[in-house]
Amino acid sequence: MDVRTLGVRAKAASFALMTMGTEQKNKILFAMADALESRTEAILSANEEDVVAAEKKGISKAMLDRLSLSPDRIADMANGLRDVAALPDPIGGADNMVRRPNGLLIAKRRVPLGVIAIIYEARPNVTADAAGLCIKSGNAVILRGGSEAIRTNIAVVRLMNAAGAEEGLPAGAIGLVEDTSRESATELMRLNEYVDVLIPRGGAGLIRSVVQNATVPVIETGLGNCHVYVDDEADLNMAERIIHNAKCSRPAVCNAAEKLLVARPVAKDFLENGLEQLRARGVELRGCEEACALIPWAVPANADDWFTEYDDLILAVKVVDGIDEAISWINGHGTRHSECIVTENYSKALRFMDEVDAAAVYVNASTRFTDGGEFGLGAEIGISTQKLHARGPMGLNELTSVKYCVFGNGQIR
Amino acid sequence: MDVRTLGVRAKAASFALMTMGTEQKNKILFAMADALESRTEAILSANEEDVVAAEKKGISKAMLDRLSLSPDRIADMANGLRDVAALPDPIGGADNMVRRPNGLLIAKRRVPLGVIAIIYEARPNVTADAAGLCIKSGNAVILRGGSEAIRTNIAVVRLMNAAGAEEGLPAGAIGLVEDTSRESATELMRLNEYVDVLIPRGGAGLIRSVVQNATVPVIETGLGNCHVYVDDEADLNMAERIIHNAKCSRPAVCNAAEKLLVARPVAKDFLENGLEQLRARGVELRGCEEACALIPWAVPANADDWFTEYDDLILAVKVVDGIDEAISWINGHGTRHSECIVTENYSKALRFMDEVDAAAVYVNASTRFTDGGEFGLGAEIGISTQKLHARGPMGLNELTSVKYCVFGNGQIR
């Protein structure tokens, strides 16, 4: 099915989903979950074909791991759908209602966005997660995954649509672009007639391509050049725990720390004594001149390092004068994702929160908490690093828009 | 000053505005207002040059009227700035704050968008209105008005910047693109490094050009092919008042009705007796075949008419079976701006509100109420007809984003 046809079908389905009740949407999600589990073998066999083809193409081990499914991973996908079913339905209620002087009653009701397109890379679990979140929030979805996972995605989407249809999921509600050429992605980015928002999930190259080429509204996600700033009034033991966790607990994700800034007064103490856990874990340190002088195992950072998201066990370290330089450095080099100060000073903590421009700003906690689950949203479809529409982790609420419903009794202006 | 330099300066100014207190922002707005009034002569003289040049180019009377300023219009611009100063400051507070099981305290605070670019056409009052709303919401602004008003805009922006600077408005906070070529507009649309959102205000051609060319995030505004549906259970006297008001009270604005749908059971009665006020006002009616048979003074509508925003004293009239056809017709032909049903039937009123996809849906009231002032927002910077970020009239709140502020005491994940 071509991209335009998927758009036509998704738009038609979106009108049925727009007014569908919560119970029915939940039944659809449970049916989809049950189908994934009961047909685990079919998914695994499609996935095996993808894995063999990917191995032949020689993709990286990390990517191969993300691509490969197991019965446990499929059970996780199914349980993810059930978890979404258990979340409150964001649709239909009003954020507020006012009575105007002329008697008009105006309710600002929450409605679905309509048709959400998602372009993503190798992970097939996104296929089920994204479909579940979109259906629960009353949206139709057009999925365009990477070529490596295409057989798996086809199997998963067919199962979900067939099982959902038995509970009333409209045809076309979950569309999959089976043509994984660059052209199909570009066509989806320009399908303004049918697509209400496009969410790219993937690396810097994908995000850049979408921003450059899309004419549909876009939510940028997930680039994270995150800093931890260790203030001269920090609890240095806490700082050590936080930078270790922020760098090492999962280095390939966007909320991992990529940069360490240390205030000069504590630089010698912290850099000489606070980085042992990082060394033990095998983290490569790239330092400014001052940092390199204090850390024998560090190598010099170059100008690009300060802007780079490594997604790996690498950390660049810079000595700064103090909070002023830290804030201006972060605002000049960060990707406005997650930024942290470690300090016991009250006023500096508040200043950092006020003046650092990022989706999430932390005092004395690891940047790794920037996540829909950790923030209490229940689930997330991505982390927005733009300011328009949504910022930070996006849950069900972020997949909605509003509609002003005006109740009159003959008012004219 | 070139577009990129304006961007650099606006971004720098936006950091100062981000944390500026309410009192100071209000002082700046009052100083700007006072300057416009005390220097009325300077503005009028610049405006006179624009008007003379525009007359030579032979622009339409309607456009000339929008371009021309008078002492009263300048006083209105000044009072608009004072009205914005009186509105609550949307910045700094939190929409909500939660305590997570691990003790993290997470506040979702409201912050400025950063740098807002606005591309608009001939009306110079937009220059002051937009600057006022942006400053009050802590944003820097880059204005790019039409060439017809350029001398007026230069005078207004210089006065506002000079007066604002005395109260601490940072340099570059109100930028004006003085080069009114197409190239400067395109450059602004692609200034991703500095522009957080672009709001086009103008006709269909401008909106389309922005959607096609912009790589910065955009909020589409103001296209309105609005319908009034007169149900077979309508109070026909009320319907007559509503369609007259919706069409005639200000035909050139986007919330004016462009289409009248009438349910067949009441078509003869309503079309023969309910349109006298429209005829008296000189409204041209373009009808479907059935409508033309009932209205001797109507001319046949063609296929394009049903998609056209006339912005003029023209109304297309169509007879429909009833509410089902009305809803699907509106969803298939409207611009998702403002749609109205006139009915006394409770269930049909609710269905129309649920199923019509538009920024504002009315029961028994004129579409003309879709307006920031009428909705109680205090002021508006435009009416969004997209679903992302904001929908319907946009006030100060719609010029903000959020920032998650996370207060920890050593939490790691």
Residues B15-40 pLDDT 10s: 999 999 999 999 999 999 999 999 99
Is pLDDT at A122 greater than 80 in this prediction? Answer: no
- Cβ of residue B197 closer than 8 Å to a chain A Cβ: yes
- For residues B167 and B286, membership in a common domain is answered with no
Is B376 close to A331, i.e. CB distance below 8 A? no
Please tell me the distance from the alpha carbon of residue B24 to that of residue B314, in angstroms, as a whole number: 48
Please tell me the distance from the alpha carbon of residue A375 to that of residue B54, in angstroms, as a whole number: 56
Contact list, A409 vs chain B (CB under 8 Å) = 364-365
- For residues B169 and B295, membership in a common domain is answered with no
Domain count across chain B:
2
Q: A109: distance to nearest CA of chain B, Å?
A: 10
Is pLDDT at A375 greater than 90 in this prediction? Answer: yes
User: Which residue from B192, B360, B388 is facing A404, i.e. has the nearest CB?
Assistant: B360
Q: Is residue B381 part of a domain?
A: no
Tell the residue number behind the tokens 């009665």, with chain if given: B269
Per-residue pLDDT band for B379 (boundaries 50, 70, 90) equals confident
Is pLDDT at B82 greater than 80 in this prediction? Answer: yes
Q: Is residue A377 part of a domain?
A: no
Cα atoms in the 13 Å half-sphere on the side-chain side of B339:
29
Per-residue pLDDT band for B5 (boundaries 50, 70, 90) equals very high
Mean pLDDT, residues A99-128 taken together: 95
Contact list, A106 vs chain B (CB under 8 Å) = 375-376
User: Which residue from A218, A360, A402 is facing B404, i.e. has the nearest CB?
Assistant: A360
- Of the candidates B265, B261, B268, the one whose C-alpha atom is nearest the C-alpha of residue B239 is B261
Q: What pLDDT does B62 receive?
A: 82
- Cβ of residue A321 closer than 8 Å to a chain B Cβ: no
Per-residue pLDDT band for A361 (boundaries 50, 70, 90) equals very high
Q: Is residue B412 part of a domain?
A: no
Distances in Å between the Cα of B203 and the Cα atoms of A136, A240, A353, B217 are 36, 57, 41, 19
- Cβ of residue A217 closer than 8 Å to a chain B Cβ: yes
Q: What pLDDT does A62 receive?
A: 82
Q: A78: distance to nearest CA of chain B, Å?
A: 25
Please tell me the distance from the alpha carbon of residue A133 to that of residue A118, in angstroms, as a whole number: 12
DSSP codes joined into one string, A337-389: SEEEEE-S-HHHHHHHHHH--SSEEEEEE-GGG-STTTTTSS--SEEE-SSSS
Query: What is the tens place of the pLDDT at every residue in A275-287?
Result: 999 999 999 999 9
Q: Which of residues 280-309 of B touch A (CB under 8 A)?
A: none
Q: What pLDDT does A60 receive?
A: 87
Q: What pLDDT does B121 receive?
A: 86
Is pLDDT at A125 greater than 80 in this prediction? Answer: yes
Mean pLDDT, residues A336-364 taken together: 98
Longest dimension (CA), chain A: 79
- For residues A188 and A51, membership in a common domain is answered with yes
- For residues B252 and B348, membership in a common domain is answered with yes
Mean pLDDT of chain A: 96
Q: Is residue B158 part of a domain?
A: yes
CA-based end-to-end distance of chain A:
49
CB under 8 Å to B25, separation ≥6 — which residues? B17, B85, B89, B135, B136, B138
Residue range of the domain that includes B266: 226-369
What is the enclosing helix (H) or strand (E) of B168? none
- For residues A133 and A180, membership in a common domain is answered with yes
CB under 8 Å to B169, separation ≥6 — which residues? B28, B135, B161
Q: Is residue B99 part of a domain?
A: yes
User: Which residue from B98, B374, B387 is facing A113, i.e. has the nearest CB?
Assistant: B387
User: Which residue from B196, B211, B365 is facing A406, i.e. has the nearest CB?
Assistant: B365
- Of the candidates A312, A306, A369, the one whose C-alpha atom is nearest the C-alpha of residue A340 is A369
Is A412 close to B197, i.e. CB distance below 8 A? no
Contact list, A217 vs chain B (CB under 8 Å) = 217-218, 386-388
φ/ψ of B179, rounded to 5, equals -80, 110
- For residues B164 and B181, membership in a common domain is answered with yes
Q: What pLDDT does B123 receive?
A: 86
Q: What pLDDT does B68 receive?
A: 95
- For residues A230 and A167, membership in a common domain is answered with no
- For residues A316 and A393, membership in a common domain is answered with no
Q: Which of residues 352-381 of B touch A (CB under 8 A)?
A: 353-355, 357-366, 368-370, 374-376
Query: What is the tens place of the pLDDT at every residue in B143-162?
Result: 999 999 999 999 999 999 99
Is pLDDT at A61 greater than 90 in this prediction? Answer: no
CATH of the domain at B232: 3.40.309.10
Per-residue pLDDT band for B204 (boundaries 50, 70, 90) equals confident
Is B411 close to A370, i.e. CB distance below 8 A? no
Q: Which of residues 22-81 of B touch A (CB under 8 A)?
A: none
Is B106 close to A412, i.e. CB distance below 8 A? no
Contact list, B403 vs chain A (CB under 8 Å) = 357-361, 391-392
Q: What pLDDT does B213 receive?
A: 94
Q: What pLDDT does B177 receive?
A: 98
Mean pLDDT of chain B: 96
Q: B210: distance to nearest CA of chain A, Å?
A: 9
Contact list, A353 vs chain B (CB under 8 Å) = 405
User: Which residue from B114, B353, B366 is facing A412, i.e. has the nearest CB?
Assistant: B366
Is pLDDT at A350 greater than 90 in this prediction? Answer: yes
- For residues B46 and B77, membership in a common domain is answered with yes
Distances in Å between the Cα of A409 and the Cα atoms of A413, B242, B341, B350 are 13, 10, 11, 14
Q: What pLDDT does B122 receive?
A: 72
Is pLDDT at B178 greater than 80 in this prediction? Answer: yes
Q: Is residue B377 part of a domain?
A: no
- Cβ of residue B104 closer than 8 Å to a chain A Cβ: yes
User: Which residue from B15, B401, B410 is facing A331, i.e. has the nearest CB?
Assistant: B15
- pLDDT > 90 fraction of chain B, expressed in percent and rounded: 92
Q: Is residue B355 part of a domain?
A: yes
Q: B341 pairs with which residues across the strands?
A: B229, B363
Query: What is the tens place of the pLDDT at every residue in A163-201?
Result: 999 999 999 999 999 999 999 999 999 999 999 999 999
Mean pLDDT, residues B367-387 taken together: 93
Mean pLDDT, residues A128-156 taken together: 97
C-alpha radius of gyration, chain A, whole number: 24
Residue A364, by phi and psi: left (phi above 0), alpha (psi -120 to 50) or beta?
Answer: left
Per-residue pLDDT band for A222 (boundaries 50, 70, 90) equals confident
Is pLDDT at A63 greater than 90 in this prediction? Answer: no
- For residues B118 and B258, membership in a common domain is answered with no
Between A57-66, A139-148, A194-203, B399-408, the lowest mean confidence (pLDDT) is in A57-66
Is pLDDT at A252 greater than 80 in this prediction? Answer: yes
Query: What is the tens place of the pLDDT at every residue in B102-158?
Result: 999 999 999 999 999 999 987 899 999 999 999 999 999 999 999 999 999 999 999
Please tell me the distance from the alpha carbon of residue A374 to that of residue B100, in angstroms, as a whole number: 8
Per-residue pLDDT band for B297 (boundaries 50, 70, 90) equals very high
Q: Is residue B121 part of a domain?
A: yes
Q: What pLDDT does B364 receive?
A: 98
Q: Predicted ipTM?
A: 0.94
- Cβ of residue B186 closer than 8 Å to a chain A Cβ: no
Contact list, B411 vs chain A (CB under 8 Å) = 364-366, 369
Q: What pLDDT does B306 receive?
A: 98
User: Which residue from A106, A111, A392 is facing B375, i.e. has the nearest CB?
Assistant: A106
CATH of the domain at B210: 3.40.605.10
Is pLDDT at A123 greater than 90 in this prediction? Answer: no
Is A386 close to B355, i.e. CB distance below 8 A? no
- For residues A115 and A233, membership in a common domain is answered with no
Per-residue pLDDT band for A91 (boundaries 50, 70, 90) equals very high
- For residues B110 and B248, membership in a common domain is answered with no
